[in-house]
A and B are shown apart, each in its own frame.
Chain A
Amino acid sequence: MTFLDVLYFIIPSAIFYAAPLILVAIGGVFSEKSGVVNIGLEGLMVMGAFVGILFNLLFADTFGAATPWISLIAAMVAALLLSLLHAVASISFRADQVVSGVAINLLAVALSLYLVKRIFDKGQTDFITERFARYDVPFLSDIPFIGPLFFTSVYNTSFFAIAVAFIAWFVIYKTPFGLRLRAVGEHPMAADTMGVNVARMRYVAVMISGALAGIGGAIYAQTITNDFGHATINGQGFMALAAMIFGKWHPLGAMGAALFFGFAQSLSIVGSSIPYIQEIPNVFLLILPYVLTIFALAGFIGRANAPLANGKPYIKGQR
């Protein structure tokens, strides 16, 4: 296997694994920029994956090839509703945001598995028949080197995820909404004084995170596992959280980190058939994203500053 062959093998698979991570990590960026820690990303992803698969199975006959895309919308709505629970607890009820996030994670797994058993009478769903199609982008895939790397047998969902990252960057850094979002996360009292409704901004931000995490979960389930069971989403949400931190709470940074984690993930899966890499024990590749995140947090890879008010409920009139 030549070096180029290895690249052609690994890069597309890295992007493929990264797409859901990108979306979920961007969701995390929105929530945390507004000052609400969202450990519940994992649970929101689970909900998205479950509803995505369920919808796909139920409506594959009705919508045909469009089913996976419509499933994304269903997953988005379901995860958004679940994220409202986190919003109510952590914004209105002043709950500890980490604890509430843990509750969301437990609830999502339990609820979706409960429903799977109720509906399918077994531990996991059937396999979906309508999947996202891989295709070669016309003309672009003919470009030497770049074509096979980025435009051959790709999923549209990957382009979608990358587009969302750029849109998120624009929204957060170039629009009045983004300015208010960041203000609420850095100094909620100042934002309140300037007439920004802190609670409403935070609700919106958490709902965006829920929506994106739901889509991410549904993409993961419909491209990688094709069914739903207890191990479908196994730490993906936490890896997205890691990508968000590694990307320093910046949408494009989070995308870059997610791409890198996707790379690590694909290496741990396809690495056994690649020279040199197959010599490395698999466990090192598996723990790489987590170890790197710890290094990033400790400041060994440049200082990352979380939004100042992250994790603190805003109580009006309290200094």
Chain B
Amino acid sequence: MSNRVTNILVPLISVILGLFVGAVIMLVSGYNPLEGYAALWNGIFGDLYTIGETIRQITPYLLAGLAVAFAFRSGLFNIGVEGQLIVGWFAAAYVGVAVELPKIIHLPLAIITAAVAGALWGFVPGLLKAKFRVHEVIVTIMMNYIALHVTNALIRTVSEGGDRTENIFASASLRSEFLQNLTEFSRLHYGIILALVAVGVMWFILEKTTLGFELKAVGFNQNASQYAGMNVNKNIILAMVISGAFAGLAGAMEALGTFEYVSSKGGFTGIGFDGIAVALLGMNTPLGVIFGATLFGSLKYGALNMPNAAGIPIEIVEIVIAVIIFFVASGYIIRLLLLRASAKKKEAK
């Protein structure tokens, strides 16, 4: 079996196993899995409105997935997407609330500010990794909590003690009447176009530029890259900064598109962590991220329909997602089993 085929089979099998485990859990706890998955399906594709909302939900997952995947390709594990997303969300909403400008300036300004905020949040772990060889996983986890508490405090300051900001000015909004009319007034917004452009940008950086070549080389083998004359430290920092910028944009989607404000949070949004699943499932390629984000965005939004339609807690989908991550991470064993299976087939011939 060729490498390419197994690369596609591993995520596919993981998804099937995840859905299977979900079905077993529903069965054991006395729910009808068929009813459950039917409710999930209708929650995703039920009518034009749900389809619009599903696509809206996919948008931040696309960007969060890109952020994780981009860092992965450079050999870095960015668990900090969650924190970078949160600061991006705040930054975009702040720009949206603080000033009123013509749309052509205001909207890009808010989006860029979000990307810069995310990039800054990624810069810290990148710098520490490059200068002090500090493992980025731990630093980014700590940065997540710092982001959560700091933005909560800032939101309190901006809203003078409240726990959410005003709505942003229309001039900073990504909302689109055209897309809303198309989808029976869902909250679908122009962010999806931006996210798809970002997919193209990542593909372009990785495949068509020297920078991308160096980043991938550093990801494969740092020592060899160093020997070949590449500046490994600079590339590590750059990779984290770009990854953080993608994550910040994911936050902008929530700030400028879906919610149009930012409120203080008791816990994480989870989008950043699900971005890990998206990237893993997409084998860290831009095209793969589209598939991963579509799957997880759909699952997440469709799950909201499960309590109403089938009386099943939405957490079942979270369980399915966790199991999928688990199996994708354990890709080695699936590859091994596939190898055995194909070897047996050859013997039989």
Instruction: Using CB atoms and an 8 Å cutoff, list the residues of chain A in contact with chain B.
Output: 37, 39, 85, 89, 92-96, 98-100, 102-107, 109-111, 113-115, 117-118, 230-231, 234-235, 238, 241-242, 245, 281-283, 286-287, 290-291, 293-294, 297-299, 306
Give B149's nearest chain A residue, CB to CB: A286
Residues 107-137 of chain B: 1 if any A CB is under 8 Å from the residue's CB, otherwise 0? 0000000000000000010001001101101
* Contacts A/B (CB < 8 Å), 6 sampled: A93-B330, A113-B313, A115-B29, A286-B149, A287-B150, A293-B142
With contacts A111-B315, A294-B142 known, is A231 near B79, CB below 8 A?
no
Give A85's nearest chain B residue, CB to CB: B326
Which of A39, A102, A231, A291 has the most CB atoms of chain B within a 10 A radius of its CB?
A102
Interface pair A103/B325, CB less than 8 Å apart: yes
With a cutoff of 8 Å between Cβ atoms, the chain A residues found around residue B131 in the complex are: 298
With contacts A103-B322, A294-B128 known, is A117 near B142, CB below 8 A?
no
Least CB distance, A114 to chain B, in whole angstroms: 4
Interface pair A102/B79, CB less than 8 Å apart: yes
Interface pair A39/B137, CB less than 8 Å apart: yes
With an 8 A cutoff between CB atoms, is B139 at the interface?
yes
Contact of B146 among A104, A115, A290, A299 (CB under 8 A): A290
**What does DSSP make chain A's interface, helix, strand, loop or mixed?**
helix
Interface pair B145/A298, CB less than 8 Å apart: no
Beyond the given pairs A294-B128, A297-B134, A299-B132, 16 more chain A to chain B contacts, judged by CB atoms under 8 angstroms and listed by A's residue number, are: A89-B330, A95-B330, A96-B329, A103-B325, A103-B329, A113-B315, A114-B316, A115-B29, A117-B313, A118-B29, A234-B267, A242-B138, A281-B153, A293-B138, A297-B128, A298-B134
B160-176 interface (Cβ within 8 A of A)? none
Which of A39, A282, A287 has the most CB atoms of chain B within a 10 A radius of its CB?
A287
The distance in angstroms between the C-alpha atoms of A110 and B318, with both chains bound, is 5
**What does DSSP make chain B's interface, helix, strand, loop or mixed?**
helix
With a cutoff of 8 Å between Cβ atoms, the chain B residues found around residue A281 in the complex are: 153
The distance in angstroms between the C-alpha atoms of A141 and B149, with both chains bound, is 37
Least CB distance, B11 to chain A, in whole angstroms: 13
Give B26's nearest chain A residue, CB to CB: A114
Least CB distance, A236 to chain B, in whole angstroms: 11
